[in-house]
Amino acid sequence: MRVVYSPAQLAKRVAKLGHSISRDYAGRTVDAVIILENAFLFAADLVRRGVTRPGRIAAEGGSNGGILITNMLTRYPERFGALFCTIPLIDMRRYAKLHAGASWIAEYGDPDNPDDWAFLGKISAYHNAVPGRPYPPILIATSRRDDRVHPGHARKMAAKLQAMGYEAYFHEPAAGGHGYGKDNKERASFTALGYNFLRRAIGWNPPEHE
């Protein structure tokens, strides 16, 4: 099996598009959805060119990247084999009421404004998750002491997916803040947990070293 690891290329393409849009629109209106679509098209292109197949594609994203990862889950589940969602922003209906969320209204929009909710609702994966879809396995991980993105985003998304019968896992260490741990050991453990989950979920078993 050939392994293709390309988070930098994907991040560069999405960030470049996002920057050009947000200069004029602050990442809002339907263009916010276009940013997500480009990430999905990137995955589809890997399959189209014969690099891999959907079940072998794994993706990881954290913080506001939680929007991207959970939309991969709910919008195009057939394009991914496994997802790792960390310290995530997910619930776009209530984000402004949790922790530092009110300070992000200029960037994302005000969910209490009907016009803003018209587009925020499209990218709020918590509200768009429904039963009966081919969602890939997902590990949602947060930190109990995250003081920027409330761990409630991760907790409620994992609980909803589990209640609907999906293969959704949840991890919440006590330490870490808005990150993967307070020191290198904790960060390495957090990252290894996620990458091991992705590896097993897509069926990649590297040969044992002698």
CATH label of the domain that carries residue 31: 3.40.50.1820
Q: Is the pTM here over 0.85, yes or no?
A: no
Residue 22 lies in a domain: yes
In a domain, 123, yes or no: yes
Total of domains in the chain: 1
Does the residue 209 lie in any domain?
no
Domain membership of residue 196 (yes or no) is yes
Domain that includes residue 178, residue range? 7-201
Residue 152 lies in a domain: yes
Q: Produce one character per residue of 98-110: b if its CB has 16 or more CB atoms within 10 Å, e if not.
A: bbebeeebeebbe
Q: How far apart are CA 145 and CA 115, in angstroms?
A: 33
Cα–Cα distance between 165 and 134 in angstroms, integer?
A: 11
Q: How does pLDDT run along the chain (210 residues), one tens digit per residue?
A: 344 444 444 444 444 433 333 333 344 544 566 667 777 888 888 899 998 999 999 999 888 889 989 999 999 999 999 999 998 999 999 998 988 888 888 888 899 999 889 889 988 999 999 999 999 999 999 988 877 888 899 999 999 999 999 999 999 887 777 777 778 888 888 889 999 999 999 998 766 654
Is residue 1 one of the residues assigned to a domain?
Answer: no
Within a domain: residue 14? yes
In a domain, 163, yes or no: yes
Give, in order, the Cα–Cα distances in Å from 56 to each of 11, 22, 164, 202: 19, 32, 24, 5
Annotated active-site positions, please? 63, 178
Please name the residues in contact with 45: beta carbons below 8 A apart, sequence gap of 6 or more: none
